Amino acid sequence: MAKVVGFNGNAAVAYAMKQINPDVVAAYPITPQTDCVERFAEYVSEGLVDSEFITVESEHSAMSACIGAAAAGGRVMTATAANGLALMWEMLYIAASMRLPIVMMVANRALSGNINIHCDHSDTMGARDAGWIHLFSENAQEAYDNTIQAIKIAEDLGVRLPVMVTQDGFIISHAVERVEILEDEEVKNFIGAYQACYPLLDLNNPVTYGPIDLFDYYFEHKRSQIEAIDNCLPVIERVGKEFGELSGRNYELLEGYRLEDAEYAVVALGSTCGTAREAIDSLREKGKKVGLLKMRCFRPFPRESVIEALSPVKGVAVLDRSVSFGGFGGPLFTEVRSALYDAPSRPLIINFFYGLGGRDIYPEDIEKALERTEEVVKAGKIEQHIDYLGLRE
Amino acid sequence: MPPLKELAKRPERLTPGHRLCAGCGAPIAIRLILAAADKPVIAANATGCLEVSTTIFPYTAWNIPWIHSAFENAAATIAGVETMYEAKKKRGEIDEDIYFVAFGGDGGTYDIGLQSLSGAWERGHRFVYVCYNNEAYMNTGIQRSSATPLGAWTTTSPVGKVLPGKTQWRKNLTEIAVAHDIPYVAQSVPSSWRDLTLKAEKAFHTEGPAFLNVLASCNRGWRHLPADTLKVNQLAVDCCIWPLYEVENGEYRLTYKPREKKPVEEWLKVQGRFQHLFSPANRHLIDEFQAYVDREWERLLERCGETKK
């Protein structure tokens, strides 16, 4: 019988970190992730983990110290949010380029300005091209489960890339929910012992990390990095299945809800998927054939799975909680729409921006989005590709 | 300190064949420092001349484990490496004693890397931070840094009709290190190999953070002949522009006192970057330069207990 506890998302991830017991954690506090770091500091202070905890003076140094510790040969974790992630930007690319399997929790928060501490996805979406695997969580349970899986994914010898596990700031990070936790031994066995590749601490085989790499080799190195992240999808799927066998909670790259016979679908990330389920149930009661596609894995982008899931529907509403200023639609919209270009049948797709800076989204907003999608499909053409939910105009 | 004969037999950790310029002070300093390590060393390097010239892929001049990740974070990076070592040591997974060293130029240390360095000092990691100080951003082509002295021509403090080169004095980073109350801080110079070796040895033997600020001239940026590097470096010491001293657990000690304190002009006149100071309109800057040096020198003598009562 699984143990059930009341955890918010931060506590769930901190507990997963305790069970993972990494060699080194280097972190800097930032709302809304702070609670996670505080809890981990308590585990360190109480001697409940063996981890060395580096209380750095900035997020830039957090990621730099993680890179040093991971290159030295350690299992390394950190956590951040918003501006903290932005301060790490430079180092995110370097961690991925060095193929260091660092795992980082990000409590999604709006990236300034103006300064705002609440949820949107502008922070991690900005980091989507940094070479990290990018897993979204719908609730505290998934934040816990994804964190444990992330270790196994990152450290797979066919992957060796850093992973960021996100949870919506405050909405997940600070809301106490029912969370089923594994036994310490189960986690330990699931992730296995860490196998270091080319560690700096191997004095007999000295290595040079981070040389200058010019026009004669850099491009080939980037090509192999492209291949590395593209090859991750089967590993993420396999680890999700194995985790399902252990916990009873199966994980896939993406998840459909009442999508089998749906004519209209909404695509979303994170906690909004829970809200969308409500909206879909309510519309289904009214006889509408609607469904949800929840994107769990955003990087690498599971193009084929998206085509398979959405090709049969007539209309798609993509919900974006971040903006790509000056772009044609939000990051999720452009990815989904691009994937569907090759679909055997192409649904009409519209984009809704919502929830910036923590603005709440309600089931009625999503119902409205799906109804709009239906109208567009019935009209046979899209007059307005981009719209807003919950915005005063 | 072992005799020079013994030091010379130690393994070359930075090997010949790197592509630093002829006359560069940095590799002389780095090789002397690494030769002072009586145990294995792992190094982190900030972005800069030393990094780019020693690791042009697929080559490396480093015979030791070495990491470069970015410009402003050599201290945080080596802190991560050292912490991982401590984790393994605690668990009994590693027996060997290892020294940890970070190298940065003055740009990567005085300016962009100061926050990361200050953090690592405060946390007390066991590492030696070496600033090879050539008094400007030489890797990007001679731009002024906060280590550049008054009046120096650089490409971002050019000499023009209105401005006579850099208009500010320099940051005293060595004293900033001392203010962190770390166990070992020293200034040295490669022209005094014995001084540098002794200090490097002490730094490696320190249980905690140690800082070596090493003036190492860049003949391209300072505008002197490649063969004159050590001579020009030593003149900085003899003019008391770059005093050799150490601060061990808060105790100041002057490690070299010039028999005769030469005027700063002696040092300025051998470098092209200061030639404009000798025009009549700029002479007053030499006086100002001398005044800054005198003030710092007097203060240092006092701290070292060298002031005549």
List the CATH number of the domain containing A130: 3.40.50.970
- The total domain count for chain A is 2
Measure the CA–CA gap between B264 and A260, rounded to whole angstroms: 84
| A113 falls within a domain | yes
Interface test with B, best of A208, A214, A224 (most B CBs within 10 A): A208
Does residue A190 form part of some domain? no
Q: Is pLDDT of A319 > 70? A: yes
Q: Do A234 and A273 reside in the same domain of the chain?
A: no
Do A167 and A279 fall within a single domain?
no
- pTM score: 0.98
Q: Give the distance from residue A299's alpha carbon to the nearest chain B alpha carbon, in angstroms.
A: 23
Whether B68 and A54 lie within 8 Å, measured CB to CB: no
A49 within a domain of the structure (yes/no): yes
What is the per-residue pLDDT across A176-207, written as a single tens digit (0 to 9) for each? 999 999 999 999 999 999 999 999 999 999 99
Do A227 and A164 share a domain, yes or no? yes
Contacting residues of A for B82, CB less than 8 Å apart: 68
Identity of the residue in A51, A56, A212 whose CB atom sits nearest the CB atom of B56: A212
Q: Where are the beta strands (DSSP E) in B64-115?
A: 66-68, 99-105
Q: Among the residues of A122-207, which ranges form H helices?
A: 122-126, 140-155, 184-191
For residue A202, the chain B residue with the least C-alpha distance is B65
* Residues A19, A122 within the same domain: yes
Are residue A284 and residue A157 in the same domain, yes or no? no
Handedness of CA A267, A269, A272, A274 (dihedral sign): positive
Chain A CB contacts of B80 under 8 Å are: 24, 26, 54, 64-72, 76
Q: A336: domain range?
A: 254-389
pLDDT digits (tens, 9 = 90+) for B92-145: 999 999 999 999 999 999 999 999 999 999 999 999 999 999 999 999 999 999
Neighbours of B37 (CB within 10 A): 21
Are residues A73 and A209 both part of a single domain? yes
Q: Cβ contacts (< 8 Å) between B126 and chain A: which residues? A: none
**Contact (CB<8Å) B98/A201:** yes
In a domain, residue A159? The reply is yes
> Is the CB of residue B34 less than 8 Å from the CB of residue B190?
no
* Any B CB within 8 A of A91 CB: yes
Among B42, B69, B98, most A C-beta atoms within 10 A, so best to mutate, is: B69
The confidence band for A260, taking pLDDT boundaries of 50, 70 and 90, is very high
Cβ distance of A68 and B77 shorter than 8 Å: yes
| A292 closest CA partner among A326, A254, A327, A325 | A254
Kindly list the residues from chain B whose CB atom is less than 8 angstroms away from the CB atom of residue A64.
Answer: 69-70, 73, 76-77, 80, 116
**Closest Cα in chain A to B113:** A61
Nearest to B57 among A70, A71, A211 (CB): A211
* Contact state of A67 with B77 under an 8 Å Cβ cutoff: yes
- Interface check for A323 against chain B (CB to CB < 8 A): the answer is no
CB contact under 8 A, B80 and A64: yes
Domain shared by A215 and A293, yes or no: no
- Give the nearest chain B residue to A200 (CA atoms): B65
In a domain, B186, yes or no: yes
**Least Cα separation, residue B291 to chain A (angstroms):** 36
Task: Give the domain-ending residue among A230, A247, A264.
Answer: A247
- Token pair 């980091």 is found at A127
Q: How far is CA A251 from CA A129, A142, A238, in A?
A: 24, 9, 9
* pLDDT above 70 for A244: yes
According to DSSP H, which parts of B91-228 are helical? 106, 114-123, 173-179, 193-204, 219-222
Instruction: For A187-337, list the strands marked E by DSSP.
Output: 208-209, 254-257, 264-268, 290-295, 297-299, 315-320
Domain span at residue B19?
4-303
Question: Do A232 and A285 have their domain in common?
Answer: no
CA distance B290 to B298: 12
How many domains are there within chain B?
1
Q: Do B51 and A206 touch (CB under 8 A)?
A: no
Cβ pair A54:B123 closer than 8 A: yes
pLDDT at B309: 56
**Which of A 346-375 lie inside 8 A of B, CB atoms?**
none
B68: nearest CA partner in chain A:
A210
> For residue range A277-318, what is the model confidence (pLDDT) as tens digits?
999 999 999 999 999 999 999 999 999 999 999 999 999 999
Q: Taking Cα atoms as reference points, which of A326, A323, A334, A328 lies closest to residue A267?
A: A334
Judge if A242 and A271 occupy the same domain.
no
Q: Is the dihedral of CA A230, A234, A238, A243 positive or negative?
A: positive
Interface subset of A 195-234, CB within 8 angstroms of B: 200-203, 206-214, 217
Does residue A135 share a domain with residue A266? no
A73 contacts on B by Cβ (under 8 Å): 84, 88
B65–A201: do the CB atoms touch at under 8 Å?
yes
Q: Is A189 contained in some domain?
A: no
H or E element: which one contains B75?
helix B74-90
**Are the Cβ atoms of A68 and B78 closer than 8 angstroms?**
yes
Give me the CATH number covering residue B84.
3.40.50.970
Give the pLDDT score at A36. 98
Q: What is the CATH number of the domain that holds A369?
A: 3.40.50.920
A199 and A285, same domain (yes or no): no
Q: Which residue has the tokens 């992957």?
A: A159
DSSP string across A368-384? HHHHHHHHHHHHTS-S-
- Residues of chain B neighbouring A217 (CB-CB closer than 8 A): 57-58
Residue A324 tokens read as 């790509």
CB-based burial label for B44 (10 Å; 0-12, 13-18, 19+): buried
pLDDT of residue B182: 98
Clarify whether residues A258 and A365 are in a common domain: yes
Instruction: Report yes or no: A60 at the B interface, CB cutoff 8 Å.
Output: yes
> Is residue A12 one of the residues assigned to a domain?
yes
CB B69 to CB A91 under 8 A? Answer: yes
Helix (H) or strand (E) holding A226: helix A218-230
Which residues in chain A have their CB less than 8 angstroms from residue B86's CB? Answer: 52
Q: Is residue A215 part of a domain?
A: yes
Which stretches of chain B score pLDDT less than 50? none
Instruction: Please answer yes or no on whether A201 and B85 come within 8 Å at the CB atom.
Output: yes
A188 falls within a domain: no
Comparing CB atoms, the residue among B42, B59, B80 nearest residue A66 is B80
pLDDT for position A1: 63
Q: Which of B81, B90, B96 to mutate to test the interface with A (most CBs of A within 10 A)?
A: B81
| Per-chain mean pLDDT for chain A | 97
Q: Which of B13, B34, B42, B84 best tests the A interface by mutation, with the highest count of A CBs <10 A?
A: B84
Range 12-41 of A in CB contact (< 8 A) with B: 23-24, 26
In chain A, what residues touch B85 (CB-CB under 8 Å)?
Answer: 72, 201
Which residue in B has a C-alpha nearest to residue A206's C-alpha?
Answer: B65
**Proportion of chain B above pLDDT 70, given as a percent:** 99
Exposed, middle or buried: residue A285 (CB in 10 Å: 0-12, 13-18, 19+)?
Answer: exposed
